[in-house]
Amino acid sequence: MFNHWSYLALQQYWWFLIAVLAAAFVFMTFVQGGQTLLYKLGKNEAERDLLVNSLGRKWELGFTSLVMFGGALFAAFPLFYSVSFGGAYYVWMAILFCFIIQAVAYEYRKKPDNIFGTRTYETFLFINGSLGIILIGTALGTLFTGGHFVVDEMHLSHWTLPSYGLEAALVPFNVAFGFMLFFLARLQAALYFIDNIEEEGITARARKVLKYETWIFLILFAYVLYSLLTMSGYGYDPATGIVHREPLKYWHNLQAMPAVAIAVASGALLVLWGIGLDLFAKGRRGIWFSGIGTVLVVVGLFALMGYNDTAFYPSLSDPQSSLTIQNASGSRYTLMSMAYVSLMVPIVLGYIAYVWRAMDRKSLSLQEVENDPHHY
């Protein structure tokens, strides 16, 4: 099967898989968004226990999506992994720390004889849901705006600024991308709680979050999309590999790939439909429309970033060091061998769907959490 594919086809296939896994992770960030809403939606300890236990059933699924995304990225495009994680390591170490304390918080929040107190671990959850997601969004923004790195003929890379990636926080587009992801996660969390929790007080407060924070998200999304479609990008000649700066590169990509334009537009509409369904029609299934929409938009953004002869990680120090799906990938044999392993991805996603369905056969209630001696 895959042995008849061209090298470029395998590279494009793996970029698409990574886009799907990234989209699955972004959808699952409603867990992080919910962690920042504990004190906004939960007015007492019992309600916060209910919220944490609702999220606690899903946080490992989100972590699984993140691990699959990182593993696929490392295996298929090792040069990107070494450049980004080896160069901008301050940012990635901060992100790693945020996800370590999340696991610690779910494990120890309600342990007997907890000397640090419940509030300490709830603070850990808030840090993971706020700083962790904003940092990830800022890092993703640099895939469009670029980083300060150089790659030599031996594929060895080094960062050219002593800030090692922290300078990304000085670029408005990157910061806006991070906060857009943060507010999307909060909106998705509100939709998730409406669907998952049987408690009118929490549901009413979740609808209030939708009512006010949707506008913040829309402003950020409009700014990011406008900036993206008007900024310059980096294209390359697929025959020679020579990189050149191209004004309106991502707008040209959108015109060249109408399917991507349809995916982004329909995805954005589905997100709005999901929010409107729960906010105005008092529905309880908006999370699914919004979730599908989120997946479509993220896959579309990754397509704009990596297809149509585009450098998906521009170098601001040396444009010829910019990374593309052709120069950053593993060998043809590696991609072909892993392509057969990738056939397991639907099985893993199916397992996630099965576990989700098994845990959500009925909405979670205060009484159920109070009667569970092993709750989070």
Does an H or E element contain 157, and which?
Answer: strand 157-159
Whether the pLDDT of residue 373 is over 70: the answer is no
Average pLDDT over residues 212-239: 95
Contact assessment for residue 236 and residue 324, using Cβ atoms and an 8 Å cutoff: yes
- Nearest by Cα to 329 from 160, 68, 77, 65: 77
How would residue 368 be classed by pLDDT, with cut points 50, 70 and 90? low
Strand partners, 197: 364
How would residue 196 be classed by pLDDT, with cut points 50, 70 and 90? confident
Contact assessment for residue 143 and residue 171, using Cβ atoms and an 8 Å cutoff: no
Whether the pLDDT of residue 354 is over 60: the answer is yes
Instruction: Determine which of 89-93, 185-189, 257-261 has the lowest per-residue pLDDT on average.
Output: 89-93
pLDDT score recorded for residue 362: 63
Whether the pLDDT of residue 371 is over 60: the answer is no
Exposure string for 297-307, b = 16+ CB within 10 A, e = fewer: bbbbbbbbbbb
pLDDT score recorded for residue 221: 96
pLDDT score recorded for residue 59: 86
Average pLDDT over residues 4-15: 92
The SS3 assignment for 258 reads helix
pLDDT tens for each residue of 326-339: 999 988 988 998 88
How would residue 369 be classed by pLDDT, with cut points 50, 70 and 90? low
3-state helix, strand, coil in the chain (%, to 5): 70, 5, 20
Average pLDDT over residues 227-242: 93
Whether the pLDDT of residue 297 is over 90: the answer is yes
How would residue 230 be classed by pLDDT, with cut points 50, 70 and 90? very high
Average pLDDT over residues 174-186: 97
pLDDT score recorded for residue 347: 82
pLDDT tens for each residue of 155-169: 778 888 888 888 999
Contact assessment for residue 198 and residue 51, using Cβ atoms and an 8 Å cutoff: no
How would residue 66 be classed by pLDDT, with cut points 50, 70 and 90? confident
pLDDT score recorded for residue 71: 85
Average pLDDT over residues 174-183: 97
pLDDT score recorded for residue 115: 76
The CA distance from 207 to 214, in Å, is: 10
The CA distance from 208 to 278, in Å, is: 11
Average pLDDT over residues 217-229: 96
How would residue 375 be classed by pLDDT, with cut points 50, 70 and 90? low
Arithmetic mean of pLDDT over the chain? 89
- Nearest by Cα to 222 from 262, 166, 183: 183
Using CA atoms, how far residue 28 sits from 69, 130, 192, 266, 321, in Å, is: 12, 14, 10, 20, 33
- Nearest by Cα to 331 from 69, 15, 17, 78: 78
pLDDT tens for each residue of 105-129: 988 887 777 778 888 999 999 999 9
Average pLDDT over residues 59-81: 86
Cα dihedral sign, 25-26-27-32? positive
pLDDT tens for each residue of 252-280: 999 999 999 999 999 999 999 999 999 88
pLDDT score recorded for residue 34: 95
Alpha-carbon 302 to chain mean position: 11
Average pLDDT over residues 39-55: 90
What is the SS3 string spanning 21-88? Answer: HHHHHHHHCHHHHHHCCHHHHCCCHHHHHHHHHHHHCCHHHHHHHHHHHHHHHHHHCHHHHHHHHHHC
Average pLDDT over residues 281-289: 87
